[in-house]
Structure 1
Amino acid sequence: MMHPLRKCLPVYLLICLGLHHALGSEIIHGQKVPENQMLYMASLQNDAGKHVCGGFLIREDFVLTAAHCAKWSPTSVVLGTHNLRKVDNNAMRIRVDTCKHPSYTNISSGHDIMLLKLSKKAKLGKKVQLVQLPKSGFKIKNNAKCRVAGWGYTKTAGNSVDELQATDVKIVNQKTCKKEWKIGKVKLPANIICAGGFKTTNGFCKGDSGGPLVCGGAAAGVVSFSGRRCGDPRSPDVYTRVSSFRGWIRNVMRRN
């Protein structure tokens, strides 16, 4: 039986080392996303209409995001706009119910993935589209170029922005990723992808949580957590590997 202190140790280390999930921020060294691209992006918002996390539309009635975003009680998603100052509540805002992965307890334990069931189907068209999910066993080559997007700060302790930003990041070898995080005495969970934030300042920051890591046109990862500071080149950014959860995603959507 695992000792309670040892069981909680990864969380303690995350706190002590200043590691954080990406609430309240934006892409580092990003650029504005053209209005005709990444039309699957969703802004998770609370009852006050404030952006708390990112997400992405995978079926007309389901958005995929990070489980730790549930902490900030998202009650709706905004679809169909990259500019959060231009939200038509009647047309773009849809109420949601949350469905966290049953094995999720905290970011250090893994399973940082959650589905949001929309109260009504999103209308697909020129402003709203679905993103493809990778198949089970999907593999990405080391150094492959992917893209991450979100709303929020452009630097640690910076200011948030309202227009969707994106930046290119490269996949980091798993052994290298584990080695770099091990220096900080953090054991990475299973079923993750590392990209950006290592030997580069490109990556995500607070508030980009739940957004997609898009590789080859598919949403291969979900933004989970990063290091002490946004854009810190010493530790790779960590994403939940979507292909490892295809069965769970399929089962939840089938039941609903």
Structure 2
Amino acid sequence: MLKLVAFCLVFIPIVVIAIGKPNYAESTGSRIIGGKEASITEYPYQAAVEINEKFKCGGSIIARRWILTDATCLWQGYASPVKVRIGTSFLLEGGQVINVQGFARHSYYNSYTGDNDIALLLLEEPIPLSESAQIVRLPDNGNATLDGRMGTLTAWGATTKLGSMSSVLRAVDVPVVNLDVCKETYNDSNWRVSDRMLCAGPWEGGKGMGDGDGGGPFVVDSVLVGIASWSSRDRAEPEHPGVYTDVGAFRDWITENTGI
């Protein structure tokens, strides 16, 4: 109860907040490249965040009233109602739509570097769990060693570099890349990979995130380990894996704000 009260005291309403647009490696616009169509029953934790009746970003069901997504999705704040659609494989169709009561964005989120790119959405009513709507398991606190492990990214992002959004949920399996190697990869760019991030993608490129995938879940062995955050401008290019928020690094923050 104390944690819930503390959360309410710092909880911010969904209003317009004038802050700078992120200028790092084009986040929350990632597209799944090299993936395949998927059914929501295979990935029932997948959620879609909608603003002004349009798709904004992906998210993950972590409790019946909580959705985990990226802070970039809400970087401006919105005067219009924010809603979450769950239980459907289709973009802006089917499933159940639930209003968002409010959100908590990480207080140290940096829109210019993409660091601490994590946010929580509190729903007005609990999600009715079913075959197509399930809670995903969260990792333990701390950075897990996942180098070389295969994980799955799911989203409705475009399937080619210049393509439109996919109308059907898609999934792609990509390996986790050693963090030090990933840091070195982006060392000559304007963006930096921090210890609170996780990288994944084949070294030869051709698979990974792109426009529309931001906020989407990256799952390894049924555990939500990453939130799609940003990628190189050329998307899924060789030697430039996608960059995710490391959920384990924010496990305490999630618990402090939700009690989960």
Distance 1:95 1:36, change over 3 A: same
Within the alignment, does 1:142 sit opposite 2:147 as a pair? yes
Equivalent in the alignment of 2:168: 163
**Alignment match of 1:245 (pick from 245, 250, 256):** 250
Within the alignment, does 1:70 sit opposite 2:74 as a pair? yes
Amino acid at match of 1:154: T
Work out the CA distance in 1 between the residues paired with 2:105 and 2:67: 12
1:155/1:230 contact within 8 Å kept: no
Within the alignment, does 1:82 sit opposite 2:63 as a pair? no
Work out the CA distance in 1 between the residues paired with 2:187 and 2:108: 24
The aligned length equals 235
Work out the CA distance in 2 between the residues paired with 1:184 and 1:196: 18
- The CA deviation at 1:185 is 4.9
- List, as ranges, runs of 4+ consecutive aligned residues in structure 1 with deviation greater than 6 Å: none
Q: TM-score, normalised to structure 1's length?
A: 0.86
Amino acid at match of 2:66: F
- The CA deviation at 1:138 is 5.0
Range moving further from structure 2, 57-66 or 78-87: 78-87
Within the alignment, does 1:21 sit opposite 2:27 as a pair? yes
RMSD of aligned residue pairs (Cα, Å): 1.9
Within the alignment, does 1:61 sit opposite 2:65 as a pair? yes
- The CA deviation at 1:76 is 0.5
1:107/1:224 contact within 8 Å kept: no
- The CA deviation at 1:81 is 0.4
Q: Which has the higher helix share?
A: 1
2:215/2:227 contact within 8 Å kept: yes
Unaligned segments of structure 2, at least 5 residues = 1-21
Q: TM-score, normalised to structure 2's length?
A: 0.85
Aligned to 1:108, what secondary structure does the other structure show?
Answer: coil
Equivalent in the alignment of 1:95: 99
**Alignment match of 2:238 (pick from 226, 233, 242):** 233
Amino-acid identity (%): 30
Distance 1:199 1:127, change over 3 A: same
Distance 1:117 1:107, change over 3 A: farther
- The CA deviation at 1:69 is 0.3
Work out the CA distance in 1 between the residues paired with 2:218 and 2:258: 21
Equivalent in the alignment of 2:115: 110
Work out the CA distance in 2 between the residues paired with 1:78 and 1:200: 31
Unaligned segments of structure 1, at least 5 residues = 1-10
